[in-house]
Amino acid sequence: MELLSSTKTFGGWLKRYRHASTSVKGDMVFSIFLPPQAETKKVPVLYWLSGLTCTDENFTQKAGAFKKAAQLGLAIVCPDTSPRGTDYPNEHDSYDFGSGAGFYINATVEPYAQSYNMYDYVVDELPALISEHFRVNDKKSISGHSMGGHGALICALKNPNTYQSVSAFAPITNPTNCAWGKKVFTGYLGEDESSWQQWDATCLIQHATQRLELFVDQGDADDFLSKQLKPESLVKACFKNDHPINLRMQSGYDHSYYFIASFIDEHLDYHFDALK
């Protein structure tokens, strides 16, 4: 791994690395916050997945999470949102497909299938790398925002007993039924819509074997709420399948990092309680 930067904050260290990834067959960048407790013992990890157009740096610069993480003794890992350095057809033409829009799935349509395997990267490759190189224990949780909230939910639902807890801010809960999801699923997975369901949290609920609570915060002033995020679809699926969910509709909040920064401490407390 190549260390790109190292910054001390709240007694811990925010470090940014580049490494060669076998999942995406190219270089990937991630950030990791190591709390001061990691100097002397292994600490639990929260994986944070960011949204459309983002990199690892959106969370590290805007969420305001590190003071609470340092107090708790919680490491936070922030991967990038898609492969970089490729030049596939239509990859850089729009904000909601291709670069910056990996959607945390494994593509099956060429040429995207060669590199767009963010699910494998987040679930398998990156945790193995973190475990090998940093003082962390085997307890991990996952969270994210928007596209990253979708990613957090599907990673938890598809991997029972892997994560101690899961939460999301304004997640895309039913991508098979919204414009963002239909666009990327067609491009990455093809026209067969039945193959899309394995990457949709609302569809996965009926197959969930672990009753891990879904903790979701959603702003009611979010411009994407009704057409793209559709939290009511997830709630309905959870109710139908007796799956625990705690959806909090936050009055006046939008889709921005101001919303995330307002409630991130509560999410960190929630995850740390589970990770203990």
Q: Which residues are CB-contacts of 218 (< 8 A; sequence separation ≥ 6)?
A: 169, 170, 225, 229, 231, 247, 248, 249, 250
Q: Is 207 a catalytic residue?
A: no
Please give the Cα distance from 35 to 173 (Å, whole number).
31
CATH of the domain at 54: 3.40.50.1820
Burial of 154 (0-12, 13-18, 19+ CB in 10 A): buried
Q: Is 6 a catalytic residue?
A: no
Structural domain harbouring 235: 2-275
Q: What pLDDT does residue 32 have?
A: 98
Task: Single out the catalytic residue among 145, 255, 267, 271.
Answer: 255
Q: What pLDDT does residue 10 have?
A: 98
Q: Is 267 a catalytic residue?
A: no
Please give the Cα distance from 71 to 90 (Å, whole number).
44
Q: Which residues are CB-contacts of 76 (< 8 A; sequence separation ≥ 6)?
A: 32, 33, 45, 46, 47, 48, 59, 65, 66, 69
Task: Single out the catalytic residue among 31, 99, 146, 165.
Answer: 146
Task: Single out the catalytic residue among 115, 165, 222, 271.
Answer: 222
Q: Give, for all 276 residues of the chain, the pLDDT tens digit.
A: 999 999 999 999 999 999 999 999 999 999 999 999 999 999 999 999 999 999 999 999 999 999 999 999 999 999 999 999 999 999 999 999 999 999 999 999 999 999 999 999 999 999 999 999 999 999 999 999 999 999 999 999 999 999 999 999 999 999 999 999 999 999 999 999 999 999 999 999 999 999 999 999 999 999 999 999 999 999 999 999 999 999 999 999 999 999 999 999 999 999 999 999
Residue 141, token pair as written in the block: 């949780």
Please give the Cα distance from 89 to 73 (Å, whole number).
44
Q: Is the entire prediction scored with pTM above 0.85?
A: yes
Q: What pLDDT does residue 196 have?
A: 98
Number of separate domains in the chain? 1
- The total number of residues shown for the chain amounts to 276
